[in-house]
Structure 1
Amino acid sequence: MSAATRVITAHVPTGLAEKVDAMAARLDRSRGWVMKQALAAWVDQEEERHRLTLEALADVDAGRVVDHGAMLAWVDSLGTDAPLPPPVE
């Protein structure tokens, strides 16, 4: 039994549509299959970005941060003869 589906329509630039068509032909897949794969990958990426943002905000709320000055000193030391060790929280 297949999952329920919905049609989503989007206007895309002609160049992008041509790339999708070319990829579909190269993969011997339908344009819809390529679009579904691309959209699923993008949604997964954005969900992960959101999860990481919430995790980072929780770290800030818990005080798990690195001092800005220590970070700048470390960055400034990179590429010198005596780089500093990475700062820790």
Structure 2
Amino acid sequence: MEKPSASSDQEMERITLHMDTHTKALMQRAADARGLCLAEFVRTSAVAQAPRLLSQITATRVSHDDFCRVLDAIENPPTPMDDLVDALR
């Protein structure tokens, strides 16, 4: 099995991954189909999925109508309630 190449300024770290026999066999077949060793297949798959997952948890999706209502509220804010005006004085 070939070790991933690392540039001289990048330190490689090891992780341990446990999985059941069927999952390992499935992943090994997929790795073989791509011409990769299992470790490289797992690494490249995880790296490809990470940005997508992170964008899903950091982005807020709203409907078109809700987006328009937010923009309208920003452009035409409601008049502040008397209690709020009094509290800010």
TM-score range normalised by the length of the shorter chain: 0.5 to 0.7
Q: Pick from 47, 56, 59 the counterpart of residue 54 of structure 2.
A: 47
**Percent identical:** 13
Aligned pair 1:17/2:24, yes or no?
A: yes
SS in 2 for 1:10: coil
Q: What is the CA-CA distance between 1:88 and the residue it aligns to?
A: 4.5
Distance, in Å, in 1 between the alignment partners of 2:18 and 2:39 is 14
Q: What is the CA-CA distance between 1:10 and the residue it aligns to?
A: 1.6
Moved over 3 A (4+): none
> Structure 2, unaligned stretches of length 5 or more?
1-5, 70-89
Q: What is the CA-CA distance between 1:40 and the residue it aligns to?
A: 0.7
> Structure 1, unaligned stretches of length 5 or more?
60-64, 67-86
Match of 1:6 in 2: 13
TM-score (norm 2): 0.53
Specify whether residues 13 and 45 from structure 1 end up closer, same or farther in structure 2 by C-alpha distance, changes over 3 A only: farther
Distance, in Å, in 1 between the alignment partners of 2:51 and 2:44 is 11
TM-score (norm 1): 0.53
Specify whether residues 45 and 13 from structure 1 end up closer, same or farther in structure 2 by C-alpha distance, changes over 3 A only: farther
Q: Which has the larger radius of gyration?
A: 2
What letter corresponds to residue 29 of structure 2 in structure 1? A
